[in-house]
Amino acid sequence: MNAIGLYLHIPYCLHKCGYCDFNSHNINEAEMEPYVRALLTEMEHYGQAAGDRRVDTIFFGGGTPTTLPFADLARILKACHQHFKVDPEAEITCEANPATIPQSDLKELREAGFNRLSIGVQSFDSDELKQLERVHSVDEVFLTVERARQGGFDNLSLDLMFGLPDQTVDRWQDNLKQALGLNPDHLSAYNLTIETGTVFHKQQAQGHLVMPSDDFQRELYEITIDTLTGAGYEPYEISNYARPGKRCRHNLNYWTNGEYLGLGAGASSFLNDERFKNVNLPARYIAQIGESQTAVESRETPNRRQRMGEAVMLGLRLREGLRLATFEQQFGTSFHQAFGDTVTRLAGMGLLEINDGRAVLTREGLFLADSVIVEFITEPEQVT
């Protein structure tokens, strides 16, 4: 059977940023140890159910995993190896906020088995960090990267954010320059979006937060692509760039419609053609795990039409595009038979191309990816 990815959600943060719509919660010291125990219980339950399924990627996300003591992160990872068949060459990532890195180096995490660190930088500009409600300083970013390298990490990823209110071209170019100066192995550059229910959304509705124009955001995106590709990074997904051999394998599994198991509050899974999701609130998650060893709040078996739309949605995010032969093999119909009208329309608008057996977004299509992809989600299937 194909290998699966394992995702572990640590929902705690020092502070929930104004733009964040993830399942994250302010630190609750009294709750964190019970949460770790619940996570270990859930892991044991699914480890027994997984049988011989091999795990080739593990990803600790959040929230902020490094709000937990490093000893707890090591304990959780050790349990992963105990309950699952983890590939010896597995990619094992931990997300980190520079403000939560202790004074000691990161050697403890590396020796525990983590081999990839994803650092939530977002900006190298102090004013922008304040605007984003980030709790770390620019100096802490440099110190975290230094400690990571000293600790033995040879696979570092940095997250950046562009399209901020009042951001200038010069500021964004300086952000990219600072990031490249740290020689990361991977960079994620996300266009700030305002999500419903966030503090930023409320501020925008009240007129206190004004986003830059679409044309200006596109200019920053173009600068991002040109700068990072010019520095030797491969643009392999809409927002992700990597040195050769350093693409994020865990996310690639997701983008190529692979299977994954999510553990922890709010974690989502896709296994055996079924999608299921845990309850969001950590306290409720802890209680339900204590009662039944699982905390699933919803399950869905996507129908054929839904799975086709999801395959297109995920495949078009990749710069190499959607493999048409794989699509036809998976669904028993060609991409053109299923979505012919949409393909013709988007190609005529210069947003989509068919090249070498792949459906690929053009450069214009990449910037408008969300609008392009929704066309495939909403169009009724043309064949049965």
Could you read off the pLDDT of 131-184 as tens digits, one per residue?
Answer: 999 999 999 999 999 999 999 999 999 999 999 999 999 999 999 999 999 999
Please identify which residue in the block is written with the tokens 């620019």: 138
Q: 118 Cβ partners below 8 Å, 6+ apart?
A: 93, 94, 95, 96, 157, 158, 159, 186, 188
Does 1 have pLDDT greater than 80? no
Q: What is the largest CA-CA distance in the chain?
A: 60
Does 383 have pLDDT greater than 80? no
Which phi and psi (to 5°) does residue 54 adopt? -85, 140
pLDDT in tens, 210-227: 999 999 999 999 999 999
Q: What is the pLDDT of residue 380?
A: 52
The CA distance from 171 to 165, in Å, is 12
Residue 252 has which token pair?
Answer: 């690639």
Q: What is the pLDDT of residue 34?
A: 98
CA contacts within 13 A on the Cβ side of 212: 18
Does 269 have pLDDT greater than 80? yes
| pLDDT, average across residues 298-307 | 94
Q: What is the pLDDT of residue 381?
A: 54
pLDDT band at 372 (very low <50, low <70, confident <90, very high): very high
pTM of the model: 0.95
pLDDT band at 384 (very low <50, low <70, confident <90, very high): very low
The CA distance from 22 to 95, in Å, is 14
pLDDT in tens, 2-21: 899 999 999 999 999 999 99
Q: Which domains does the chain have, with CATH numbers?
A: 4-255 (3.20.20.70), 313-378 (1.10.10.920)
DSSP conformational letter for 359:
E
Portion of the chain with pLDDT greater than 70, in percent = 98
Q: 118: which strand partners?
A: 95, 157
Does 297 have pLDDT greater than 80? yes
| pLDDT, average across residues 261-269 | 98
Please identify which residue in the block is written with the tokens 């300083």: 137
Portion of the chain with pLDDT greater than 90, in percent = 93
pLDDT in tens, 28-67: 999 999 999 999 999 999 998 887 899 999 999 999 999 9
CB 239 within 8 A of CB 228: no
The CA distance from 24 to 32, in Å, is 13
DSSP conformational letter for 381:
P
Instruction: State the Rg of the chain over Cα.
Output: 21
The CA distance from 320 to 24, in Å, is 32
Q: What is the pLDDT of residue 145?
A: 96
Q: What is the pLDDT of residue 84?
A: 97
DSSP conformational letter for 207:
T
